[in-house]
Amino acid sequence: MRRSIRSTAAVVIAVLVAAMIGRAAPAIAAEDVTRERLDNGVTVLVRENPLAPVVAVALLVRMGTRWERAENAGISNFVHAVMVKGTARRSGADLAEAVAGLGGKLTASGEVDYSGIQASALARFWRELIGLTAEVALTPKLEPADGPRREIDRVR
Amino acid sequence: MSARGRLVLVLVLLAGCASGAAGGRAAVSSRPTREVLPNGVVLIAQEHRASDVVALQLWMRVGGRDETADELGLSHYLEHMLFKGTPTRPPGSIDALIEGLGGTSNAFTSQDYTHFDVVLPAQHMRAGIELLADIAVNASFEQRELDAERKVVFEEMRLTEDNPDRFMVRRLYEVGYAPHPYGRPLLGTEQLIGALTRDRLNAYYKKFYVPGDMVLVAVGAVKSADVRDAVVATFGRLSGSPPPRPPSASPPTLAGGRRDDIRRSEQQAYLGLGWRTAATNEPDVYAVDLLTYILGDSPSSRLSQRLRDQDRLVFAIEAAYGAWERAGLTTVVARLDPANLARAEATILEVIQRVKAEGVTEAERQRAIITAESNYAFDIETAEGLAKTYGQAETTWTLDDEIAYLSRLRKITAAQIQTVARKYFADDNYARVRFLPPASR
């Protein structure tokens, strides 16, 4: 009965909130957001919202169609489609199971100016969710062991 | 990937990690208050300060199932017409009012209820409640507006039929529930809507839009006492006959199975199977909910792992559970190559058979509970979502059941999940709808 499509919508909402922060939307005061730059250059923005027991993580990267050339047009989108299908340590099925075990969703998609991984889960699993996001971002399999290029061919 | 070198921005939005409380509901500020006014209007209110808005929703205890054969589509038509105007609010002025206040409005119709909602900045709560109370009984149905809306509804019919995913769900429910009213088209038929008169629509409206059928839900940055004052001064003054809804029978069983094949222009095939399961008021809803998650909620679910990843029979497969007041239907829908139709159907039955024979694992049970908890948490994250949850519960279930939902779900054992699989799912009691590509190919 509560098997609604709204859980998908929630992921979108998280991204919308992210966009609003960027534009300093009036509902979110600047002091509610902490911003830190790690030694390796990664910027971390955090906002606590105690009203709902959920967490959303967005990893944004400066990669997008505007950097594509005629020879590799579409490669950004292709990378997003393949990268969520497994990591160096996990098969696609294991990854899906790990995400589901957090009550979560994890997708990758891109835009003209940026790309990224969008993930959400129950708030108590925030550490695990950041861990999975990093794992998918840094060690995507892109070429599964059960057959070279098989996943890539399937996506194609 | 060069992406690694360009990793520049991590954006983390955290919510709800402050309390440290276990469980999904802890962060919701308080329980809702529920009151039945002397004229029968139910008021549900809750202060909820996620942002400075208030969600105001009118839920009517009337829907497709209340229509007679020659009234098909009238509940839905009213949904379209109510925001069109009243004697004191000319056509167009209601939308202008809502948008002028910075708000939004929406409405939808189901077999069990009809729903109208506005989301407004909280300081305009009273204006919103006055508006809903006005359209609930004073809609004027100007002939010009009524005629213009016909085209919108016709277009909605065509849009549903044009989209194979939506049309599959509709057909599956029609085949799964016919001849019960649950199996009839919510939008009506082109013929009935084409011939709809103002008198007929108005008679239907006057019959069902009575105080005893009304539920008003208000959730947001407002004090419940202020909401109550506004509702008593508006909805509280309405009068009307008692609610007309007669006791409704349950739909017939699907014993023996039902089959429906439809040729469509798409080259991909669709396979939809539906089993009759528990209605909202039956104790099995919790176990059926968990079973549905385990079978087909995500890429890690049994059906997806077996049919999509292992056997490569389908491009996508999903299970869903629609629990209504008088019946429930668990559906499995797959998109696939037409050549795989028979094998995919047999494999779905095999996956279900295995659950019946061997049960589910503790890990699956726990994952399903976490998924349910998470879906719930996202459902109720906004004032609008929380209000929707309450309104739906009040009209198809009970508010108390809704509030107890997660705690009851957590108590369901793997054995109970196996029991409902055995009780409801058989090889010869499901409705099947298939979309096939054009015959000439």
Digit-by-digit pLDDT tens for chain B (441 residues) are 333 333 434 444 444 433 333 333 333 457 899 999 999 999 999 999 878 999 999 999 999 999 999 999 999 999 999 999 999 999 999 999 999 999 999 999 999 999 999 999 999 999 999 999 999 999 999 999 999 999 999 999 999 999 999 999 999 999 999 999 999 999 999 999 999 999 999 999 999 999 999 999 999 999 999 999 999 999 999 999 988 887 778 899 999 999 999 999 999 999 999 999 999 989 999 999 999 999 998 888 999 999 999 999 999 999 999 999 999 999 999 999 999 999 999 999 999 999 999 999 999 999 999 999 999 999 998 999 999 999 999 999 999 999 999 999 999 999 999 999 999 999 999 999 999 999 864
Edge-first strand order for the sheet with A43-49 is A33-37, A43-49, B9-15, A54-61, A115-122, A105-110
The confidence score (pLDDT) of residue B246 equals: 78
Q: Which residues of A touch B13 (CB under 8 A)?
A: 14, 17-18, 45-47, 49, 55-58
Give the Cα separation of A136 and B356 in Å (integer). Answer: 35
Cis ω on the peptide bond leading into residue B179 (within 30° of 0)?
yes
**Tens digit of each residue's pLDDT (9 = 90 or more) over B161-211:** 999 999 999 999 999 999 999 999 999 999 999 999 999 999 999 999 999
Under the phi-then-psi rule, with left for phi > 0, alpha for psi from -120 to 50, and beta for the rest, what region is A44?
A: beta
**CB contact (8 A) between residue A62 and residue B375:** no
Sign of CA dihedral B286, B287, B291, B294: positive
Identical fold, B33-237 and B258-436: yes
Percent of chain B having pLDDT more than 70?
93
Give the Cα separation of B92 and B268 in Å (integer). Answer: 43
**Tens digit of each residue's pLDDT (9 = 90 or more) over A31-75:** 789 999 999 999 999 998 887 899 999 999 988 999 999 999 999
Q: Quick one: B33-237 is in which CATH superfamily?
A: Metalloenzyme, LuxS/M16 peptidase-like (3.30.830.10)
> Model confidence at A27, in pLDDT bands (50, 70, 90)?
low
Amino acid at A98: A
Number of domains chain A contains? 1
Which of B4, B12, B373 has the CB atom closest to A130's CB atom? B12
HEC readout, chain B: CHHHHHCCEEEEEEECCCCCCCCCCCCCCCCCEEEECCCCCEEEEEECCCCCEEEEEEEECCCHHHCCHHHCCHHHHHHHHHHHCECCECCCHHHHHHHHCCCEEEEEECCCCEEEEEEEEHHHHHHHHHHHHHHHHHCCCCHHHHHHHHHHHHHHHHHHHHCHHHHHHHHHHHHHHCCCHHHCCCCCCHHHHHCCCHHHHHHHHHHHCCHHHEEEEEEECCCHHHHHHHHHHCHHHCCCCCCCCCCCCCCCCCCCCEEEEEECCCCCEEEEEEEEECCCCCCCHHHHHHHHHHHHCCCCCHHHHHHHHHCCCEEEEEEEEEECCCCEEEEEEEEECHHHHHHHHHHHHHHHHHHHHHCCCHHHHHHHHHHHHHHHHHHCCCHHHHHHHHHHHHHHCCHHHHHHHHHHHHHCCHHHHHHHHHHHCCCCCEEEEEEECCCCC
Q: Which residues of B touch A106 (CB under 8 A)?
A: none
Closest listed residue to residue A2, CA positions, set B379, B333, B368, B278: B379
B309 touches chain A (CB under 8 A): yes
With both helix axes pointing from N to C terminus, report the angle between B362-379 and B414-424 in degrees, rounded to the nearest 10.
Answer: 80
Smallest CA–CA distance from A93 into chain B, residue: B300
**CB contact (8 A) between residue A123 and residue B49:** no
The confidence score (pLDDT) of residue B20 equals: 31
Tokens found for residue B98: 């809502």
With both helix axes pointing from N to C terminus, report the angle between B125-138 and B93-100 in degrees, rounded to the nearest 10.
Answer: 160
CA dihedral defined by B197, B201, B204, B208, rounded to 10 degrees? 180
Cβ contact B185:B73 at 8 Å: yes
Which of B52, B301, B371 has the CB atom closest to A103's CB atom? B371
Give the Cα separation of A98 and B367 in Å (integer). Answer: 9
A141: in domain: yes
B28 touches chain A (CB under 8 A): yes
Smallest CA–CA distance from A44 into chain B, residue: B10
Give the Cα separation of B330 and B278 in Å (integer). Answer: 9
Question: Distance (Å) from the C-alpha of residue B309 to the closest C-alpha of chain A?
Answer: 8
The confidence score (pLDDT) of residue B16 equals: 40
**CB contact (8 A) between residue B373 and residue A57:** no
**Tens digit of each residue's pLDDT (9 = 90 or more) over A114-155:** 999 999 999 999 999 999 999 999 999 986 444 445 555 666
The confidence score (pLDDT) of residue A23 equals: 33
A1: in domain: no
**Phi/psi of residue B142, nearest 5 degrees:** -60, 140
Unique residue bearing structure tokens 């385990």:
B294
Which of A27, A61, A104 has the CB atom closest to B3's CB atom? A61
Contacts of B300 (CB under 8 A, 6+ apart): A93, A96, A97, A99, A100, B367
The confidence score (pLDDT) of residue A22 equals: 34
Contacts of B308 (CB under 8 A, 6+ apart): B299, B314, B315, B316, B317
**CB contact (8 A) between residue A52 and residue B379:** no
Amino acid at B117: D
Question: Distance (Å) from the C-alpha of residue A125 to the closest C-alpha of chain B?
Answer: 9
Cβ contact B10:A45 at 8 Å: yes
Amino acid at B334: A
Distance of CA B306 to the CA centre of its chain: 29
Residue A60 maps to which CATH number? 3.30.830.10
Does the structural domain B258-436 have CATH classification 3.40.1440.10? Answer: no
Domain residues for the domain of A40 are 6-155
Unique residue bearing structure tokens 């085209």:
B151
DSSP-assigned beta bridge partners for residue A54: A122
Mutate to test the interface with B, among A1, A135, A143 (most CBs of B within 10 A): A1
Mutate to test the interface with B, among A11, A32, A39, A54 (most CBs of B within 10 A): A54
**CB contact (8 A) between residue A103 and residue B4:** no
Smallest CA–CA distance from A28 into chain B, residue: B51
Which of B17, B52, B371 has the CB atom closest to A100's CB atom? B371
Cβ contact B20:B28 at 8 Å: no
Which of A1, A55, A100 has the CB atom closest to B300's CB atom? A100
B69 touches chain A (CB under 8 A): no
Cβ contact A104:A96 at 8 Å: no
Give the Cα separation of B251 and B236 in Å (integer). Answer: 36
Number of A/B CB contacts below 8 angstroms equals: 209
The single-letter DSSP state of residue A54 is: E
Sign of CA dihedral B334, B335, B338, B340: negative
Regarding predicted confidence, which is higher, A156 or B69? B69
pTM: 0.85
Smallest CA–CA distance from B384 into chain A, residue: A6
Domain definitions of chain B by residue range: 33-237, 258-436
Q: Which residues of A touch B11 (CB under 8 A)?
A: 18, 21, 44-45, 57-60
The CA-atom distances, in angstroms, between A152 and each of A36, A83, A99, B314 are 36, 10, 21, 17
